[in-house]
Amino acid sequence: MEEQNIGGAAPQAEEPRKTAVQTPAPGGTRVWLKLIAGLYLVSLVAAFALIAKADAVKKTRAKEMDISKLSALTKAKKDAVGVVEIYGAISQGSSSRSWERGSQQIARKIAEVAAEKEVKAVVLDINTPGGSVGAVQEIYSVIRRAKLETKKPFIARFGEVSASGGYYVASACDLIVAQPGTITGSIGVIFSVANFEGLMKKVGFKSEAIKSGKFKDIGSPTREMTPEERRLLQGMIDDSYAQFVAAVAEGRKMPEDKVKLLADGRIYTGRQGLENGLVDKLGDLQDALDAAGEMGGIGKKPRIVRETAPFEQFLSLMDSRLQPFGTKAMADALGATPSLEYRWDGR
């Protein structure tokens, strides 16, 4: 017998149990996003900082390079080779006229140019047959002194003629550059005396000298030279010749015996001079300037500093060209001023 549900109520079905799922809170997601954004921002800032620093370093280096180049350019522009011209016969004297070329003027110019800080080497542009012994030796001495005091190289450049006293001066230099056809050499001494005694007798002119000693009028053009006077003058010649030979031997680093073989008064071309050790190099003025630049440590094609203005240079050249017709030349021709000379008489 089935049981009856008392009260007539229908039975209730049992509901199934549900499992709860946990979801993250919205606030945690925002924290992570902020953290990632912060790290990204920091990395961007660091990257920009590195780029800015690299750019600054690059600009600094470029600036330093520009300054270095400018400094080098300024230095190269400032450094120079000094040029001093020795034109015409060399004689003692110091005139106030800038175009005249007495030995004291030339010596002073050499000393002044060599003393300039911007000058790293000195070129002597020589075109002379020589001159009086004292005047030549004055220039020679100032070159030796300037080299000793400044430690700067001296280069001699020979033009059409650099003979006798011109070569004496050049022997003090560190390098000699000559043209193949330059006339050089004539290493020796001369004392020229004229004798007008016969002419004076023809015109009825007589000269008498009242003197304190028998040699006081030695070299007089009004009478014949005695054998004893000739021996005295030859002694002077020999002593001056020995000084010339010693200067060449020292300057060319050559034994005196070898110098004497070359120093019998003969002249040489520049090429013959090179073959005999009297010249170091064949070339023109630019070759001499390039050699001076290299020896002075500033390279070829150096900036040039001249000791005269162009107008003075022109007057100096004219003076040297006209000198054979000047009063000194006339006096020498007449025998009025005999002197001991390192001079080539072929000009």
| DSSP state at residue 5 | -
Burial class (CB in 10 A: 0-12, 13-18, 19+), 295: middle
Burial class (CB in 10 A: 0-12, 13-18, 19+), 52: exposed
Strand pairing class (80-87; 303-306) = parallel
CA-to-CA distance for 155 and 157, rounded, in angstroms?
7
Packed helices 133-150 and 227-252: angle between N→C axes, nearest 10 degrees: 20
Q: Do the beta carbons of residue 257 and residue 146 sit within 8 Å?
A: no
CA-to-CA distance for 90 and 101, rounded, in angstroms?
8
| Selected catalytic residue, list 58, 201, 216, 301 | 216
User: For tokens 């170091």, what's the residue?
Assistant: 280
Collapse the DSSP code of 252 into the 3-class scheme (helix H, G, I; strand E, B; otherwise coil) and give the result. helix
CA-to-CA distance for 130 and 90, rounded, in angstroms?
6
Q: Do the beta carbons of residue 130 and residue 142 sit within 8 Å?
A: no
Please indicate whether residue 171 is annotated as part of the active site: no
| Selected catalytic residue, list 164, 171, 220, 316 | 164
Burial class (CB in 10 A: 0-12, 13-18, 19+), 130: buried
Q: 15-28 burial by CB neighbour count: b if 16+ within 10 A, else e?
A: eeeeeeeeeeeeee
Please indicate whether residue 216 is annotated as part of the active site: yes
Task: Please list the alpha-helical segments (H only) found in the chain.
Answer: 26-78, 103-115, 133-150, 165-170, 197-202, 227-252, 256-262, 270-275, 285-295, 310-322, 327-333
**Positions marked catalytic:** 164, 216
